């Protein structure tokens, strides 16, 4: 960390979110890096794009928004997700065998991870053996005191109980939503109630914190010392694309900048609420 500018790394997918009329940059780790950069972190992305026009345009977007890259060019098409909106809520059709399914291990990325204050990764990037192998190697480079944030981001059919158990053993912080909580209940040794699941995961895996979001209703952050709970502000929703990622990026950055748990939580809530009022995951 330099001059209160924590090093925050997104690990995994970067892609184009394709809406009916236009496309916008996205991918959960890239979204986290975007919001970390906006709030004062040194933001990096470890990913891959294709040697195509879409890949070149994505790299330009990352540079324009001050996200430093360890992002390779590989001989696969740049990632795309077809996004369908219904009253602002999004559903996703994710194109397979994309560039980010083949993220290579590099010494540059390994050196970055050894310096990182936090990294955020999700289950989706582990759907391919190439990227899964790379990300496991990179997570092993991180210092014990760094935050390793798993955003479970469950997208059927790209997860399993075995994968979740493996990744829970590799993280020290967790982000999930109230719809994902019942799926993780068996791993928590708990009933389906989201609060019980969060407490169970916190204790069973020795986590530093668990972030729970519940859509437009509330969010909670569980730590061994207690729970922070805040309602979500009432806003006019444009779409919910990237809202959870913005919450994660804002919270990580504020927390690493020295804000209290409650202050960082409030920053995350305000950021996610704002993102919901604007189209896409990267609002200006």
What residue spans define the domains of the chain?
Answer: 7-276
Query: What pLDDT is attached to residue 19?
Result: 83
Cβ neighbourhood burial of 160 (10 Å; 0-12, 13-18, 19+): exposed
Tokens (6 digits) for 188? 């928590």
Per-residue confidence (pLDDT) for residue 4, from 0 to 100: 75
Secondary structure of 63-131 in the HEC alphabet?
Answer: HHCCEEEEEEEECCCCEEEEEEEECCEEEEEECCCCHHHHCCCCHHHHHHHHHCCEEEEECHHHHCHHH
Q: Where are the beta strands (DSSP E) in 190-234?
A: 209-214, 218-223, 226-231
What pLDDT does residue 132 have?
Answer: 98
pTM flag (> 0.75): yes
Note the Cα 182 to chain centre separation in Å.
20
74-133 pLDDT, tens digit per residue, is 999 999 988 777 666 667 789 999 999 999 999 999 999 999 999 999 999 999 999 999
pLDDT < 50 stretches in the chain? none
What is the structure's pLDDT at 93?
84
Identify the architecture of domain 7-276 in CATH: 3-Layer(aba) Sandwich (3.40)
């Amino acid at each position: 960390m330099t001059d209160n500018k924590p090093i925050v790394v997104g690990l995994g997918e970067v892609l184009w979110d394709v809406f009916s009329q236009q496309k916008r940059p996205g991918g959960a780790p890239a979204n986290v890096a975007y919001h970390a950069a906006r709030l004062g972190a040194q933001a990096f992305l470890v990913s891959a794009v294709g040697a195509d026009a879409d890949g070149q345009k994505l790299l330009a977007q990352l540079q324009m928004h001050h996200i430093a890259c360890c992002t390779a060019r590989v001989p696969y098409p740049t990632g795309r997700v077809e996004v369908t909106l219904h009253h602002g809520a999004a559903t996703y059709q994710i194109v397979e065998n994309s560039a980010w399914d083949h993220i290579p291990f590099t010494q540059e990325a390994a050196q970055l991870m050894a310096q990182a204050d936090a990294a955020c990764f999700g289950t989706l990037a582990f759907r391919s053996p190439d990227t899964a192998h790379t990300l496991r190697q990179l997570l092993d480079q991180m210092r014990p005191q760094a935050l390793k944030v798993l955003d479970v981001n469950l997208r059927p059919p790209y997860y399993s109980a075995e994968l979740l158990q493996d990744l829970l053993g590799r993280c020290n912080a967790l982000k999930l939503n109230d719809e994902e909580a019942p799926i993780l209940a068996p791993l928590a040794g708990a009933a389906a109630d989201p609060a019980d699941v969060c407490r169970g995961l916190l204790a069973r895996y020795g986590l530093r914190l668990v972030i729970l979001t519940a859509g437009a209703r509330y969010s909670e952050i569980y730590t061994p010392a207690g729970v922070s709970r805040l309602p979500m502000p009432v806003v006019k929703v444009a779409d919910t694309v990237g809202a959870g990622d913005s919450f994660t990026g804002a919270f990580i950055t504020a927390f690493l900048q020295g804000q209290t748990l409650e202050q960082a939580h409030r920053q995350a809530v305000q950021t996610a609420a704002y993102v919901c009022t604007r189209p896409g995951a990267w609002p200006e």
